[in-house]
Structure 1
Amino acid sequence: MDQKEFAGLIDSTKHIVLSAIKKNLYEEFYDTIDDVVQETYIRAYKSLAANKFRGESSHSTWLYTIARNESLRMNQKRMRQANLAMKLKEKATQDSILNPREEYSDSGMDIELQDLISNLPWKYKSVLALVSEGYKEQQIAEKLGIPEGTVKSRSFRGKQMLKKLFFQET
C-alpha cells in the first residue's frame, strides 16, 4: 500500500476510528485523543506494510478494533500515571519527597522516584540524585565542583519541579 492509498484509507475511516476512541477512552483522558489516533494509524500502516492484514474483515472494522485496543492501552497507561501521582502525593504529605534523605521502605517507590528525577534537567537531576543517596550539601558541592549555595538552590528547585509535576494533576 502506497502513501496515497493509505491517505485515502485514513480519510475514509477517520470517523470510525474517532468513534471507537470516544467510546473506549475515559473522558478524563480525552486530551490524548490525538496520540491514540496517531498510534492507531501507525500500527495499521506497519501491519499493512508487512502484509499482516488478513482481509477477514473490512479495513474499517479492523481499524475500529485497533483504535479500541489503543484506547484501552492509553487508559491503562494514564491510570498507572495517576496512581503513581497519588502515591507520590501521599509520600509528599509525609515529607518524604520534600526530604529525600529519608530511606524509603517501598523499594518500588525508590525506583519510581529515581525514574522521575532522571527526567529533570541535568543540573537538578545531578543534585537530587546525590541528595536521594544521602549525601550532605557540602559533599555534593565537592563532588560536582559547584558552590554549596548552588547545591541548595538546585535541590530546592528540583524538588519544586517534582511537586509541581504531580500536584497539577488534581
Structure 2
Amino acid sequence: MTNPASSAAPRTQVVDRPDSFTQRFSPTPRGARLARRLTVLQLDRWGVRPGSAVSDRAALVVAELAANAVTHGRVPGRDFELSLVLPHADVLRIEVSDARGERRPPAPGDLGTPCPEDEHGRGLLLVEALADRWTVRERLPVGKTVRAELDLRGRSSTSL
C-alpha cells in the first residue's frame, strides 16, 4: 500500500543554497510558466525586488529559454532544468538545460534576422538583447545547456 502523502510529494529535488537554485520542470507550457514565476520568487529571496529591471530581465530570459526547451528541446519523459546561480555579487547566471543535444541553437551573434512574416524565431534575439552574455554548452551525459548572464552592477566584458 502506498502512502498518499508520499505520492503527492514533488518528483524532483530542489537545490536551494544561498547562492544557487536548481529545479526540474515538466516540458510543458505550464512548466515554462512555473520556471519564470519561481525565478522571480527566488530573486526576491536574494533581495532583487519583483518589478525591478533585473527581475524583469531575468524573468524574460527564463521565459524565452524555458519556452525553447519545451518547444525545441523536448524529449518524451525528460524534464528540463533551470539553474539560477550567483557566482559572485555582480552576476546572475541563468542556465536552462534540456535533453536534446542534437538540436542546438545558432551561436551568439549568428542569429540572423527573421522575416517579418515569421511567427517564430525571435526568442534568442530577445535573450541576446536582454542578457549581457549568453552561450550554448554541451550537457553531460546528454543534452545541452543555454547559459545567459546578467550583470547586476553595470556592464562587464567577463566571459562565460
Scaled to the shorter chain, the TM-score interval is under 0.3
Considering fraction of residues, name the structure with more helix.
1
Q: TM-score, normalised by structure 2?
A: 0.25
Higher strand share: 2
TM-score (structure 1 length as normaliser): 0.23
**Max radius of gyration: which structure?**
1
